[in-house]
Amino acid sequence: MSEDVLKIVIPAVIILVFLAVAGFHLMRYLRGSIKIRLTNTAFNPGEPITGSVELVTRKEIAGNRLYAALIGREVTRSRRDGKTQTHRREVYRDEATLEQDRTYLAGQALTYDFQIPVPTSENPDTLESGLGKTLKTGVNLFTNRRTSMEWMVESRLEAQGLDLVSRRRVHLRHLKHF
């Protein structure tokens, strides 16, 4: 291709991608919104996460399921050849279904309370023993990897078309690894 054609094609592709992303967010906004309200953002093992989900509809939505979930993801950062790579893997999920199969009318504002228990331990026999800590440190030194956990509460209205989703990060004390 000539340089003149590339000067037209590349900006056109960038503009099309931008319009597609903007259109997706506009369609989601026009459907409604979902928000998570938490009583706290730091929790101890065994303590319940309590909060509410606020759902506001702008259009009629045929909902399949509305839920709140506690999600734990293992985050591994590795460094190789001067570049850092980050990988996330879901290792924990506990869901509380708030409502099943419902049609939400346009203009509704609904609130649902939820409670999800925090996991109680991280397998103390292996990961938190002296040997387990030593092995983790050795592996991190030789592989140039760092592994941690990130926790979040997610609320989602699974619906026909686009889902409505909201996430809030939470801190679970004493649960760095699961």
| 49 vs 1, more confident | 49
- Is the pTM value of this prediction over 0.85? no
Query: What pLDDT does 45 receive?
Result: 87
Q: Which two tokens stand for residue 18?
A: 């931008």
Query: What pLDDT does 26 receive?
Result: 60
Query: What pLDDT does 126 receive?
Result: 42
Lowest mean pLDDT segment, chosen from 46-55, 57-66, 167-176: 167-176
Please state the separation of Cα 76 from the chain's center in Å: 16
3-state secondary structure of 26: helix
Q: Rounded mean pLDDT of 28-48?
A: 86
**137 confidence band (pLDDT: 50, 70, 90):** low
3-state secondary structure of 162: coil
Q: Are 114 and 168 in contact (CB under 8 A)?
A: no
Which CATH code is given to the segment(s) 32-172? 2.60.40.640
Nearest to 98 by CA among 55, 58, 38, 62: 55
Looking at mean pLDDT, say which of 14-18, 67-71, 88-92 comes out highest: 67-71
Query: What pLDDT does 134 receive?
Result: 52
Task: Return the amino acid letter for 61.
Answer: I
Is 60 exceeded by the pLDDT of residue 92?
Answer: yes
Domain ranges of the chain: 32-172
| 74 vs 11, more confident | 74
